[in-house]
Amino acid sequence: MNAPISAALLQLRANAPAARVQPTVPHNARLLASAYEHDGIYLDLRGVLDSAGYDVEDVSLAGSTVALTALFSRDQLRQMSDWCDEHLPSAHALQLVSQQESRAERLQWERHASEPP
């Protein structure tokens, strides 16, 4: 009498839907902008920065790693990239800041090295 019930339970387990997994942004994706507002929703923009500018590749809710990129068209991602180009420092500007900080650190080190002990 238990055989039909056991068979039915096995059938249910075999046909059970797989656990749903939310798509996430890649763990190595570079955060370009946090709390970017799009239609009243705050988003985190992730992507790359090179000499040509910013390229938004992934979008998630601010503070989350669940990818929402599939909900945006390529044109919308391009608009987000353009916003980053207009409002965030360029790769050249970031490189200049890095060089200036490097020079300042080197000068400070040279000053300390030339002082008597």
Q: Where are the domains of the chain?
A: 24-114
Rama region for 44: left / alpha / beta (φ>0; ψ in -120 to 50; rest):
beta
Question: Higher-confidence residue: 50 or 62?
Answer: 62
Which pLDDT does position 16 carry in this prediction?
Answer: 63
How many C-beta neighbours within 10 Å does residue 58 have? 22
Question: Higher-confidence residue: 107 or 71?
Answer: 71
Share of the chain above pLDDT 70, in %: 77
Residue 85 in this model has a pLDDT that exceeds 70: yes
**pLDDT single digits (tens) 43-54:** 999 999 888 888
Tell me the two tokens of residue 43. Answer: 């988003």
Share of the chain above pLDDT 90, in %: 44
Model pTM score: 0.65
Q: What percent of the chain is helix, strand and coil (3-state, nearest 5)?
A: 45, 25, 25
